[in-house]
Amino acid sequence: MVEKGKNIILRIKDTIHLRKFPVKHCLAKNSFTRRRKLTFPVVFSMILRLVKKSLGIECELMEPSTFKIPPSKQAFSKARYKIAHTGFKELLDLSLQTAYQGDTSYGTWRGYRVIARDGSSVRLPGSQEIVSKFGRLNPNGTTGTMLSLARGSLFVDLCTSLIISARFAPWHVGEQTMAEEQLPEVINQLRSLEQEKLLFIYDRGYISIKFIEQHNACQTDFIFRVQEKNYTNLWKMVSSGKSDFDFMLANNSKTIGQKVRVIALSLPNDKLEVLVTSLFDREKFTADDISKAYLLRWHIEECYKRLKIGSELENFSGKNLDAVLQEFWAHLVMCNILSLHMCDRQGAWNPDQIAQYRLNFSVLFGVMRQKLYQVLVGDCSPKSFQRLFNRASIRAKIKIRISRLYSRDKVDKPRRNHVFRRVC
């Protein structure tokens, strides 16, 4: 079996040491042309390592250990702003190539690449440059100094937890607008990697005739959850007792329609979950199968949990726009690196045969990110990285409890002035 996690580290290391890579992703032609402590691979790898402590402390501990005097935080900050964030986007694409090329069935469910899309807020530093780009959040017309907020948009492979595509936009840009713009980009990218059978899964709030038509035009399948009180005639048929039927969704003027399959399921809280899908083959895909596939959508919520809690995405080490974009994309690359290693160790998620235990991302992230930096700067071998990962993964496990339910009744509202304290 090919070790995709090991391969991606070797490919990233080779890529960032190529001369054409810094030429392509530096903001000035003469950047990193002299021999200095802070070479391009060192600075780039340091950003990818994700600085979480005080920047001064991180620079004091910076490797390689051949530094007689470690670089100052001012020198590192000056060097990082010579690098464009596009280099990290290229590495994200490289991680997908490593996963899918030559192995089109890797992490698929019944031949389908199952993908979900969701958005989330990202708190940003309050610098003038950030505010001018993303604005401030002013809910209900409130005045005063409010936090700067962006909207992140991810398309995630649900069986492997790989991030396929991402967008970073001002908060006022709607989620459905971002999804409609991002969908063709995702499809073209996956088709270039020979991924033909695509199944997209969406939560409530995304369904529309236009969006369904877009999926049909791109020859991809979908599962949408229908919000209550949307499409009244559909809900009337569900209320009459029908649970698996074909239906023609139409707009208000009834000039445009799309045929879909409707599935109604009873949840443990006695509420109805109504799904619409393009999977009409009832022998191959039963109602329970569609329900299992939709339950996979929770993995994109877990992906945001990894990013925002496990790896502290909002704990930015810089206040300028370039630093924020660098770290946003670096977090996605780091998540994909660990996801590939975790799939090598435990296999992709299979909704038809759920494992008893899964690896704990937060523990492995804390253990491995410094080791990754050492590998990329040449201070550690990839074999040493793999040995540490294998050792840590023996105990870094969590039990899967399928029937566990989490109530939102006691979840606090987010703080208006949320900060991460950069400690030692």
Percent of the chain whose predicted confidence (pLDDT) is above 70: 91
Distance CA 290, CA 159 (A): 15
Flag whether 74 is in a domain. yes
Please report whether residue 373 resides in a domain.
Answer: yes
- pLDDT confidence of 408, banded at 50, 70, 90? low
The amino acid sitting at 4 is: K
In a domain, 180, yes or no: no
How confident is the model at residue 341, as a pLDDT?
95
Domain-embedded: residue 340: yes
Give the tens place of pLDDT for each residue, 277-331: 999 999 999 999 999 999 999 999 999 999 999 999 999 998 899 999 999 999 9
Q: Is residue 255 part of a domain?
A: no
Is 356 within the bounds of a domain? yes
Report the alpha-carbon distance of residue 71 to residue 58 in Å, rounded.
10
pLDDT band (50, 70, 90) for residue 363:
very high
Domain that holds residue 344: 4-86+331-399
> Predicted confidence band at 407 (pLDDT cuts at 50, 70, 90)?
low
Query: Does residue 152 sit within a domain?
Result: no
pLDDT in tens, 242-275: 999 999 998 766 667 889 999 999 888 888 899 9
Query: What letter represents residue 283's amino acid?
Result: E
Those residues whose C-beta lies under 8 Å from the C-beta of residue 144, and which sit 6 or more positions away, are none
The whole-chain average pLDDT of the chain stands at 88
- pLDDT, tens digit (0-9, with 9 covering 90-100), for 49-75: 988 888 888 888 886 655 678 888 999
What pLDDT score does 214 carry? 95
Mean pLDDT value of segment 173-186: 94
- The domain tally of the chain equals 1
381, part of any domain:
yes
What's the rounded Cα separation, in Å, for the pair 157 and 296? 10
Which token pair is 13? 């290391």
